[in-house]
Amino acid sequence: MDGDFLKLLPEHPMRGAMPTATPGLPDGTAVEATTVLAFHYRDGVMMAGDHRATAGNMIFSDLVDKVLPLDGESMMAIAGSPAVALEMARTLETSFEFYRRSQLQPMSLRAKTRALAQLLKNNIPATLQGFGTVVPIFAGVDRLAPEKPATIFFYDPLGAEFETTGFAASGSGSESVRSVLAFQENWGNPKPEAMSVKQATLFALQLLTTAARFDSATGGVDPIAGRYASVYTLTSDSITKVTAEEQANWWRLTSKKGKS
């Protein structure tokens, strides 16, 4: 036993309790969403993910949205099983709205993060079977403590919660992303927390492109096909989507500068 939780999954006796294959795919393969990331930029938090979902060595889809706004103050990026993760997101969205309407105030950020941790704990049986693993990133602002900036949290598959001061990444391409983010945070100019929304968006696209070069399960960015990324910003006021058109325009301008 080498202590690697994910390597132990195929040997666990619970694995045979339920089918692990997705209909239409080879036995033992399940759909997985790949690389997502979040980091602090000048106005708040930027969260981004590519659009690829894989099933074993097959590309299942290049149209998956992995960054999911939950309400006006929090959002979640998903890596792992999209079916389970999307159900978790719907549950959180409904829970947050029900609390707001019934208590006439928003749920605290601490309560929101614990709600996600509980959903992950409830999902442990599927995680142990190896077909329902979810490793999300969560970001939110606390309306009950408006002086605090937006915060990033990441989780392990069993629901352990960690608050990060700078950035987080999850999925198969996360090692490349974390390496570049760590370099940029320590020695880059500008540092991520000093970037404008345009600079941060281009940086996020470059991170996903870098991950795709070293990880075949990451879709990256394909300007020729018009395929960019799911990119959202979270500030103290709102959650805003950076549209594909904005990404394309900024990418094109940067490419022209590089060639001139």
Catalytic residues: 34
- Phi, psi (5° rounding) for residue 70? -100, -35
* 111 SS3 class: helix
* Alpha-carbon span 178 to 174, nearest angstrom: 6
DSSP string, 176-223: HHHHHHHHHHHH-SS-GGG--HHHHHHHHHHHHHHHHHH-TT----BT
Cβ burial of 41 (10 Å; 0-12, 13-18, 19+) is: buried
How far the first Cα of the chain sits from its last, in Å, is 55
Tokens linked to 107 = 């749920």
* Chain position carrying tokens 């074993």: 56
CA distance 60 to 63: 9
Q: Please give the single-letter amino acid code of residue 114.
A: R
